[in-house]
């Protein structure tokens, strides 16, 4: 995977670097920063590249939690009107990164390394500050008029650095335009202090412990001291931590009011869900819970047992999972993770009718919850009620970034209903979200040739084809002609 990404930056952009193709008025010293509209479009393209290059967590419960945490911080940031999008990368290393368009990624390994929700929030708050302070557009403007290869290399470097690239990411972009691009990297590194300061303010306003950033950075710095001869955690390499920086963070935190929001336990439970769903497999997950003792503290112990429930579920030990979950649910019958797990167990036991009944009842308490809706749609599909799946999940297609697993369910539902045109359309959108525009366009072309086809359907397909063709040209402008290995 890393070799493919290095090829994406090195092999495909070096010929372009000789052409000095100018971007369409990104900005100049007098004209201001990269326009919000252009940045958002770059952000959409960036996320498609991310999905094509990295394995992302496609679990509605985890994504809903991380997004909710991030949106809470965003509402209390210095630019609360700005839109943010948060996602989790399946990667055991410690890292987080902010891309264009307010897209913020966090590695599963970082979630597992944090010890409190405040620590996780501190990392998200730091990355949010990079966005609100417009550090990436300012880096673009620092170059005044950047060439296509340079901006493409910078965006590719974010992906490389975010997914285990480390020094390879810096080496790759330096090979394109050594002086210009390295200046941009140096420029962005100078923004770390500002991101710390703004991030701590955001933490405090959102009701988190402002000291958590310094605590987390301190633990990371301490772990780096004892890793002689070993590679530093990726977070320390992309976010260099010094004793002075930690001390400054502690001083800033002491000036902030301490307003703590009661802990619901969701963080601890989602950390265990991340552990199980991103692990190497059910056998390894079960071994973890057998070899490690139940942690101290009532909420930590419940979260640990919940993780074991999920490990048993993944291993197909449904009766044991159900028994352990029953004990947890008795003490907290309305806790969302436990209710979702009940539905998941019913589906694992091939009881779609039971799963459907449970999910419909749970949705009365958690209306429009995406995890429950997806499970209900899956249960109805397995029950042979594809029309119900379409009715439940059809509106997701109109969202800016529809979840791929929802699009996959809608495609299956269309197949079951005999609507081949819609099946092709849903699969096309699935490929769009995963950065495969050429494949998506081919799906739509096949749909347009089916007979019979309604005029309105054909017009919709042709309009979407034109839009995707425009997106493809934009993508090639900023990222070059992509390697077929990434399709």
Catalytic residue list: 127, 196
Query: Dihedrals φ, ψ of 380, to 5°?
Result: -65, -40
Sign of the Cα torsion 65, 69, 75, 80 reads negative
Query: What is the Cα–Cα distance from 195 to 87, expressed in whole angstroms?
Result: 20
Give the DSSP per-residue string, 233-262: PHHHHHS---HHHHHHHHHHHHTS---PPP
Helix runs in 260-369, H state only: 266-277, 282-291, 298-314, 318-331, 336-348, 352-365
CA-closest candidate to residue 259, choices 216, 205, 212, 215: 205
Note the Cα 51 to chain centre separation in Å: 9
Query: What is the Cα–Cα distance from 259 to 76, expressed in whole angstroms?
Result: 13
- What separation in angstroms does the CA of 347 have from each of 325, 342, 363, 382? 15, 9, 17, 9
CA-closest candidate to residue 375, choices 412, 398, 414, 345: 345
Q: For the beta carbon of residue 271, count every other beta carbon within 10 angstroms.
A: 24
Give the DSSP per-residue string, 101-170: GGEEEEEHHHHHH--SHHHHHHHHHHHHHHHHTTHHHHHHHHTSS-BHHHHHHHHHHHHHHHTT-THHHH
Which class for 486: exposed (0-12), middle (13-18), buried (19 or more C-beta within 10 A)?
Answer: middle
Query: What is the Cα–Cα distance from 476 to 214, expressed in whole angstroms?
Result: 41
200 touches 258 (CB < 8 A): no
Q: For the beta carbon of residue 400, count every other beta carbon within 10 angstroms.
A: 9
Question: Which run of H or of E encompasses 463?
Answer: helix 455-479
Give the DSSP per-residue string, 317-345: -HHHHHHHHHHHHHH-TT-HHHHHHHHHH
């Amino acid at each position: 995977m890393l070799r493919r990404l290095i090829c994406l930056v090195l092999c495909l952009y070096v010929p372009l670097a000789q052409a000095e193709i100018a971007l369409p008025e990104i900005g100049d010293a007098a004209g201001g920063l990269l326009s919000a509209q252009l940045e958002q479009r770059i952000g959409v393209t960036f996320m498609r590249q991310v999905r094509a290059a990295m394995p992302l967590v496609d679990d509605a419960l985890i994504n809903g939690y991380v997004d909710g945490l991030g949106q809470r911080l965003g509402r209390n940031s210095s630019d609360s009107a700005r839109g943010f999008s948060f996602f989790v990368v399946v990667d055991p290393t410690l890292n987080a990164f902010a891309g264009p368009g307010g897209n913020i990624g966090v590695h599963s390994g970082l979630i597992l390394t944090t010890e409190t929700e405040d620590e996780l929030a501190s990392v998200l708050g730091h990355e949010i500050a990079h966005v609100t302070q417009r550090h990436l557009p300012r880096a673009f403007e620092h170059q005044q008029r950047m060439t296509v290869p340079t901006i493409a290399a910078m965006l590719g470097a974010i992906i490389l650095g975010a997914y285990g690239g480390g020094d390879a990411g810096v080496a790759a972009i330096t090979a394109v335009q050594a002086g210009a691009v390295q200046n941009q990297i140096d420029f962005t590194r100078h923004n770390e202090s500002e991101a710390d300061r703004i991030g701590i303010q955001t933490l405090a306003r959102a009701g988190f412990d402002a000291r958590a950033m310094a605590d987390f950075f301190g633990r990371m710095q301490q772990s780096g001291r004892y890793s002689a001869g070993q590679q530093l955690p990726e977070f320390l390499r992309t976010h260099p931590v010094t004793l002075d920086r930690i001390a400054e963070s502690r001083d800033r935190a002491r000036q902030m009011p301490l307003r703590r929001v009661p802990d619901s336990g969701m963080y601890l439970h989602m950390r265990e869900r991340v552990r199980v769903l991103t692990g190497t497999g059910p056998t390894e997950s079960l071994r973890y819970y057998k070899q490690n003792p139940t942690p101290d503290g009532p909420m930590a112990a419940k979260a640990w047992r919940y993780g074991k429930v999920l490990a048993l579920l993944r291993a197909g030990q449904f009766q044991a999972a159900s028994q352990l979950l029953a004990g947890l649910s008795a003490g907290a019958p309305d806790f969302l993770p436990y209710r979702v797990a009940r539905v998941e167990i019913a589906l694992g036991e091939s009881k779609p009718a039971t799963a459907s009944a449970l999910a419909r009842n749970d949705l009365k308490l958690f209306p429009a919850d995406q995890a429950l809706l997806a499970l209900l749609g899956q249960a109805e599909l397995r029950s042979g009620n594809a029309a119900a799946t379409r009715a439940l999940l059809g509106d997701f297609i109109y969202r800016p970034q529809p979840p791929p697993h929802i699009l996959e369910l809608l495609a299956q539902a269309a197949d079951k209903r005999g609507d081949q045109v819609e099946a092709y359309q849903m699969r096309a959108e699935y490929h769009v979200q995963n950065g495969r525009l050429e494949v998506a366009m081919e799906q739509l072309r096949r749909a347009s040739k089916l007979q019979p086809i309604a005029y309105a359907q054909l017009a919709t397909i042709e309009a979407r084809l034109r839009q995707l063709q425009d997106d493809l040209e934009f993508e090639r402008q900023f990222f070059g002609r992509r390697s077929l290995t990434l399709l």
